[in-house]
Amino acid sequence: MHAPRVDRRLDVTRERCPMSYVRAKLTLESMAAGEVLELTIAGGEHLENVPRSAEADGHRVLGVEEEIPGERYRMFIRRGADPWV
Q: Give residue 70's pLDDT.
A: 85
For the chain, list residues with pLDDT below 70. 1, 83-85
Its pTM surpasses 0.85: yes
Tens of pLDDT along 11-33? 999 998 889 999 999 999 999 99
| Residue 83, pLDDT score | 60
| 3-class SS string, 19-44 | HHHHHHHHHHHCCCCCCEEEEEEECC
Give the chain's domains with CATH numbers. Answer: 8-78 (3.30.110.40)
